[in-house]
Amino acid sequence: MPILKSNTMLDFSNTEIAFSLKSDADLRNAYWLFKAIKQPLLVKCGKGLTQLAMGIHFPVAWAVKPTLFKQFVGGETLDDCTPSMQQLMRFNVKSILDYSAEGGQSVLDIQNSFDETIRSIDFAKGNPNISYTVFKPTAMVTDELLCKASEKREKLSLNEIREYRKFRERFMALCERAYKNDVRILVDAEDYCFQDAIDELTEEAMRTFNAKRAIVFTTLQMYRHDRIPYLQKIWQDSQTNKYIPGIKFVRGAYMEAERARAAAMGYPDPICKDKQATDDNYNAGLAFVIDHIDSMELFSGTHNEFSNQYLADLMEKKGLKADDSRIFFAQLYGMSDNISFNLANAGYCVTKYVPYAPVNKVLPYLIRRAEENTSMAGQTGRELRMIEQEVNRRKLSKMK
């Protein structure tokens, strides 16, 4: 992917801006947390102990809350997240409140996830701190049914058809609530085996609710090599059916599992051949949407510095203002503050995914965050390096 000539070179190394939200104590806590996460054995042991504690209902909140929870989660409830959102907004960074309770497959779990997502959409109505709402389709139906509906629709039993219709009703009810509240809603992407059914419903929702502006956003995991043709298909469909697609890009979260399942099930590997191909795919997606920005909206969710700079360059080349509200840059809460805060300081529209849920229900999310940071040595190393730089900068500043 060629580097565009740009007059807007963003400085993602400015730690004073990057950590303007954090006190000295917050920085120290973050340093020791990322230091621990960098040790695979420590993370593996911590995961095992945490799962054991959850299995026997041993209270772990006292250990988790001041560490992983504080770094990566906004609070246990919607109201708990308000101070975090207000702090972010002081630096022109908006929030997406993401109910991150994971793993429940019972009827009660599904209903609770639906009800809480409805509450989050209502909470976002008219709230200047919130940019989007979001939901995981797998929280609204069992994995078994969603997989079968995606891959073997014709083999659904009558009872499964009825249950799938209930899932569709929940899906559309969330999108309709967002539409009535004038709040944009992101439909998260899932594993390959679930995605066809999700794409089908998201397309239907976009045709229904996006006539005047993008309310419903589909998510494209760009480590899938078929996503650029799919993006082009969405745009063509939007021209035919007169709606404005909302496009959210991420690189993807399930690469190893996807490759293993493809090999086990005997279908072609859906994942790009290597990281460079994924990066090129992601950046090509950005270029396509910016080329068609008069009939699309964009949500770019990435911790990759090049892709963030590249999007800023594309906007400049197109003559778009930094604060064009059709284009948002996004990162996860507790990560890549050097990107988020420096983009916001330069005037771009920036938002953070802010997870929330009771401690015991958000633990699977926190374990995954720790594991992902452990496997992403470059990411964790960058976080540590920048924290050290800011600590040293503050020490020198106090000595002057």
Domain boundaries, the chain: 75-366
Residues 288 and 219: their CA atoms lie apart, in Å, by 15
pLDDT of residue 378: 64
Residues 392 and 19: their CA atoms lie apart, in Å, by 13
pLDDT of residue 222: 98
Average pLDDT taken over every residue of the chain: 90
pTM: 0.92
Q: In whole angstroms, what separates CA 41 from the centre of its chain?
A: 27
pLDDT of residue 49: 47
What is the CATH architecture of 75-366?
Alpha-Beta Barrel (3.20)
Q: Describe the crossing of helices 359-375 and 377-399 by its angle, rounded to 10 degrees.
A: 100
Tokens of 269: 């590997």
- Greatest Cα-to-Cα distance within the chain, rounded to the nearest angstrom: 75
Strands 350-356 and 216-221: unpaired
Residues 400 and 397: their CA atoms lie apart, in Å, by 6
Residues 64 and 75: their CA atoms lie apart, in Å, by 12
Residues 16 and 18: their CA atoms lie apart, in Å, by 6
Exposed/middle/buried for residue 265 (C-beta within 10 Å: 0-12, 13-18, 19+): exposed
SS3 301: strand
Sequence length of the chain is 400
Tokens of 379: 């990411």
pLDDT tens digit at each of 400 positions of the chain: 555 555 668 999 999 999 999 999 999 988 888 887 776 654 455 555 455 444 545 455 656 777 888 899 999 999 999 999 999 999 999 999 999 987 678 999 999 999 999 999 999 999 999 999 999 999 999 999 999 999 999 999 999 999 999 999 999 999 999 999 999 999 999 999 999 999 999 999 999 999 999 999 999 999 999 999 999 999 999 999 999 999 999 999 788 889 999 999 999 999 999 999 999 999 999 999 999 999 999 999 999 999 999 999 999 999 999 999 999 999 999 999 999 999 999 999 999 999 999 988 887 777 766 666 555 556 788 898 999 999 999 999 988 7
| Residue that is written with structure tokens 């995954």 in the block | 368
pLDDT of residue 61: 62
Residue among 76, 74, 75, 67 at smallest CA distance from 37: 67
pLDDT of residue 183: 98
SS3 102: coil
Task: Count CA within 13 A, CB hemisphere, residue 181.
Answer: 24
Q: Please, are residues 145 and 153 in contact by the beta-carbon 8 Å criterion?
A: no
Alpha carbon separation from 205 to 209, 390, 400 (Å, rounded): 6, 45, 58
Residue among 301, 220, 221, 303 at smallest CA distance from 254: 221
Q: Which runs of E-coded beta strand occur in the chain?
A: 93-99, 130-135, 185-187, 216-221, 246-250, 297-301, 327-332, 350-356
